[in-house]
């Protein structure tokens, strides 16, 4: 208990954002994991499953910049509460609406529900970046972002086994309904404990405040001029374009690797849940390790080259590993290759988000919205391409498109120049 009292409050706040990221990916990937059952029960096609994924990604992407800007204005506490309430409604509606509607109306209702879910989740990651910027020392930004990404990936990891197991027990509707309770509990707890900044939290000590960057100007609500500056910043735009290319591959693995393992590698039942979980675990480990590696590289080589090193090495590796995935002969070799590819994608998250925070500083929420708009535009592009190719049996071509875009994402990092943070704000981390 004594040790728990010594933990900085920022880590308890981070635990909530970690949980939000985890729950968001359980919510968004449930449809893809339950896809085979939904196709059979509702008589929809694999292409329509791809369109449901695209409906989520479209609204999620379109709302990134507004969500980041509005999140800065209303603060993390109220913004995350809104995320929880709207997301809970969408989570409940997804399995319940097909009971009410028939025929084409079922698919339309699911499209609307997935679109609402996308709107609800749009602030999750822009606000988590803003929370990290406000609550953590500068030299812990990449680490915190890397571990934050691990939260969402662990959500993706548990979803296949969770949904497959619950589907066998209570059916696919019961499996999707089971997600609602943890969503309600976590967001209710945040409403009680969470705060927008360390200065607002009654339990934050003066010692912890002294470890954080000292702003010469108090952050004010974002203005149109500042938002325009973010939208036209060369480095923010290059980061966003590179993130778009990387996230094409990310969403290829997120939404389609499970169906690949079922349809091509012929996993089924619980074994499919276990096989589907392994790539996500690899990705979670990669994201956490990437945050540590990026912060250490920055300390040694400076901002520009420090953030570039990991992407320049890992993104070409993604291309190689995707080609290995479709070339190996045994099913479990394909699973391990997918895990390595997913890890090599996600090892870059800390670098992308911390580099954006270095550029934007107090306007991190808005800049993170721009970054994530680019990233999720890659996801939108991915869905119809992979759906068409995979439905025609062209899984090799689908994975090849991901390999090409991963290489382009790496090359774009050569053009990105992140301004260094003044030494006056590079304060040491004074405790756990």
Q: What is the DSSP string of 385-417?
A: HHHHHHHTT-HHHHHHHHHHHHHHHHHHGGG--
CB 351 within 8 A of CB 311: yes
In a domain, 426, yes or no: no
Domain containing 58: what range? 2-205+222-419
pLDDT, one tens digit per residue, over 120-170 is: 999 998 888 889 888 988 888 888 888 888 888 888 788 877 888 888 888
pLDDT of 343 reads 95
pLDDT, one tens digit per residue, over 101-116 is: 877 888 898 899 999 9
Number of structural domains in the chain: 1
Q: Return the higher-pLDDT residue of 49 and 198.
A: 198
176, 181, 185, 186: CA torsion to nearest 10: -20
Supply the DSSP symbol for 419. Answer: P
In a domain, 213, yes or no: no
pLDDT of 215 reads 52
Give the chain's mean pLDDT.
Answer: 85
pLDDT, one tens digit per residue, over 334-352 is: 999 999 999 999 999 989 9
In a domain, 196, yes or no: yes
Supply the DSSP symbol for 138. Answer: G
CA distance 327 to 336: 12
Q: Is the pLDDT of residue 179 over 50?
A: yes
Confidence of residue 217 (pLDDT cuts 50, 70, 90): very low
Confidence of residue 6 (pLDDT cuts 50, 70, 90): low
Place of tokens 């995979």: 390
- Written as six digits, the tokens of 68 are 């980041």
pLDDT of 5 reads 55
Q: Sort 374 into a burial class: Cβ within 10 Å, 0-12 / 13-18 / 19+.
A: buried
Q: Give, rounded to a whole angstrom, the gap between the first and last alpha carbons of the chain.
A: 14
Q: 81: domain CATH number?
A: 1.20.1250.20
pLDDT of 219 reads 55
CB 291 within 8 A of CB 146: yes
CA distance 307 to 290: 10
Residue 170: CB atoms within 10 A of its CB come to: 13
- Written as six digits, the tokens of 385 are 């391409």
pTM of the model: 0.75
Q: Is the pLDDT of residue 224 over 80?
A: no
Q: Is the pLDDT of residue 29 over 90?
A: no
Confidence of residue 429 (pLDDT cuts 50, 70, 90): very low
In a domain, 119, yes or no: yes
pLDDT of 214 reads 60
In a domain, 241, yes or no: yes
129-143 core/surface letters (b: 16 or more CB in 10 A; e: else): bbbbbbbbbbbbbbb
In a domain, 427, yes or no: no
CA distance 195 to 81: 11
In a domain, 112, yes or no: yes
pLDDT of 30 reads 83
List Cα–Cα distances, 32 to 54, 67, 317, in angstroms. 11, 25, 26
Helix residue ranges per DSSP H, 63-140? 64-100, 104-121, 124-135
pLDDT, one tens digit per residue, over 364-392 is: 778 888 998 898 889 888 988 998 898 88
In a domain, 215, yes or no: no
Q: Return the higher-pLDDT residue of 429 and 328.
A: 328
């Amino acid at each position: 208990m004594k040790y728990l009292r010594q933990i900085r409050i920022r880590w308890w706040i981070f635990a909530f954002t970690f949980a939000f990221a985890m729950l968001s990916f359980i919510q968004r990937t449930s449809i893809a994991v339950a896809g085979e059952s939904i196709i059979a029960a509702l008589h929809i096609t694999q292409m329509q499953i791809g369109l449901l994924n695209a409906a989520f990604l479209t609204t999620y992407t379109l709302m990134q910049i507004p969500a980041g800007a509005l999140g800065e204005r209303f603060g993390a506490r109220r913004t995350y509460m809104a995320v929880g309430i709207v997301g809970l409604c969408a989570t409940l509606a997804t399995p319940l609406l097909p009971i009410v509607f028939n025929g084409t109306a079922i698919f339309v209702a699911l499209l609307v529900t997935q679109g609402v879910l996308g709107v609800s989740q749009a602030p999750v990651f822009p606000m988590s970046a803003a929370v990290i910027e406000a609550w953590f020392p500068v030299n812990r930004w990449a680490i915190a972002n890397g571990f934050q990404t691990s939260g969402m990936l662990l959500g993706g990891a548990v979803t296949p086994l969770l949904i497959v197991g619950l589907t066998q027990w209570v059916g696919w509707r019961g499996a999707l309904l089971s997600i609602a309770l943890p969503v309600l509990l976590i967001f209710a707890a945040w409403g009680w404990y969470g705060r927008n900044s360390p200065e607002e939290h009654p339990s934050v000590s003066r010692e912890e405040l002294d470890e954080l960057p000292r702003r010469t100007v108090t952050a004010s609500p974002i203005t149109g001029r500042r938002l325009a500056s973010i939208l036209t910043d060369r480095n923010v735009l290059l980061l966003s374009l590179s993130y778009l290319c990387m996230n094409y591959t990310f969403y290829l693995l997120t939404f389609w690797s499970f169906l690949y393992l079922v349809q091509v590698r012929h996993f089924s039942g619980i074994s499919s849940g276990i096989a589907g979980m392994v790539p996500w675990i690899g990705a979670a480990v990669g994201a956490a390790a990437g945050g540590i590696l990026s912060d250490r590289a920055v300390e040694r080589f400076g901002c520009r080259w420090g953030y570039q090193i990991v992407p320049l090495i890992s993104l070409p590796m993604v291309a190689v590993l995707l080609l290995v995935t479709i070339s190996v002969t045994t099913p479990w070799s394909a699973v391990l290759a997918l895990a390595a590819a997913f890890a090599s994608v996600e090892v870059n998250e800390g670098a992308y988000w911390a580099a954006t925070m270095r550029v934007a500083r107090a306007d991190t929420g808005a800049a993170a919205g721009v970054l994530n708009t680019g990233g999720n535009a890659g996801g939108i592009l991915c869905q119809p391409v992979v759906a068409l190719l995979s439905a025609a049996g062209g899984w090799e071509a689908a994975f090849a498109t991901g390999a090409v875009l991963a290489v382009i994402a790496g090359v774009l990092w050569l053009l990105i120049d992140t301004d260094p943070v003044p030494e006056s704000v590079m304060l040491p981390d004074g405790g756990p």
